[in-house]
């Protein structure tokens, strides 16, 4: 299947730390998202993919957003202007909230490689098997299915295992549907009540899966980037950074974060 696209870069979007279950094979990216397995490649303004629908691709890769409007507004900021020029086509994805929650619970005090390992192992141990191109693909387990603490530990999750185990019991798809209907502040408040989920992870869930475009996840990288570029190298609290981003970029803060993060790490 094909999809005509504009102002989109698959590589930047997929490799910018918002999505983890993918593997590059030649010109194709083999991707897994919840119960979907598909492969996708980009050739200029065309996306070619197999294994899923146009609707899914459009939503997952944030292709419905008013990208030109957002980037134009953000480009008033000279630093973002550079970042946007360098990484034009980078999008904020809209993923499955359940998988995103487990995903970013795994991210605490970790790194991209290890998060990928955790997610792939969780799918192997708890998810259903499917066939894709004559090979076994592991689907991500449904809410409620990650229910064995010892097995969760076998997925190299370490001290995060107990949090994953607890959250698996506390949420379901309906919970996330309710959060989508709430505003950003309320949704975040609900999320940080969950074990193993603090401000940063909650903001990632809000931004990457609940459509809260104003969320501005502050991790150690964003902290450094913001300090260097907007606070004259002075120490600032995460709270101050969030307030600054909110005032400066409002509903576009999430996009600003994604550009700054990618730019700051790949410069």
- Residue 15 or residue 35: which is nearer to DNA going by CB? 15
Contact segment (CB under 7 A) with DNA among 56-64, 131-139, 159-167, 241-249 equals 159-167
From 32-40, 135-143, 197-205, 248-256, give the range in contact with DNA by CB under 7 A. 197-205
Look up tokens 């294994």; give the residue.
51
Residue 18 DSSP one-character state = S
Q: Residues 204-243 vs DNA: string with x where CB under 7 A?
A: ---------------xxxx--------------x-x----
Sign of CA dihedral 42, 43, 49, 54: positive
| In the block, residue with structure tokens 């008033």 | 76
Angle value at C-alpha 239, between 237 and 243, nearest 5 degrees = 120
The footprint of DNA on residues 84-103 (CB under 7 A) is none
Handedness of CA 50, 53, 57, 58 (dihedral sign): positive
**Is residue 37 a contact residue for DNA (CB under 7 A)?**
no
Closest CA to 96 of 205, 255, 252, 253: 205
- The region of 36-44, 55-63, 133-141, 192-200 touching DNA under the rule CB under 7 A is 192-200
Residues in contact with DNA by the rule CB under 7 A: 16-18, 107-115, 117, 153, 156-160, 163, 192, 194-202, 219-222, 237, 239, 261
């Amino acid at each position: 299947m094909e999809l005509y696209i504009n102002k989109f870069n698959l590589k930047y979007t997929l490799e910018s730390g918002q999505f983890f279950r993918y593997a590059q094979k030649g010109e194709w990216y083999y991707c897994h998202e919840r119960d979907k397995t598909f492969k996708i490649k980009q050739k200029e303004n065309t996306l070619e993919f197999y294994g899923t629908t146009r609707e899914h691709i459009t939503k997952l890769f944030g292709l419905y957003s008013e990208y030109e409007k957002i980037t134009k507004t953000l480009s008033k900021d000279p630093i973002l202007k550079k970042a946007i020029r360098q990484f034009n086509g980078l999008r904020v994805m809209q993923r499955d909230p359940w998988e995103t929650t487990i995903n970013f619970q795994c991210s605490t005090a970790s790194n991209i490689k290890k998060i990928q390992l955790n997610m792939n192992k969780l799918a192997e141990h708890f998810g259903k098997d499917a066939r894709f191109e004559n090979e076994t693909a592991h689907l991500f387990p449904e809410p409620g299915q990650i229910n064995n603490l010892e097995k969760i530990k076998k997925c190299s999750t370490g001290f995060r295992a107990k949090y994953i185990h607890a959250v698996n019991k506390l949420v379901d798809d309906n919970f996330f549907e309710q959060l989508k209907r709430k505003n950003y502040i309320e949704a975040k408040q609900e999320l940080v009540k969950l074990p193993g989920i603090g401000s940063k992870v909650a903001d990632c869930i809000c931004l990457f899966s609940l459509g809260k475009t104003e969320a501005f996840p502050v991790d150690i990288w964003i902290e450094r980037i913001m300090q260097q570029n907007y606070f004259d190298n002075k120490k600032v609290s995460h709270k101050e950074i969030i307030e600054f981003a909110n005032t400066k970029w409002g509903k576009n803060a999430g996009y600003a974060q994604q550009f700054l993060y990618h730019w700051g790490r790949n410069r």
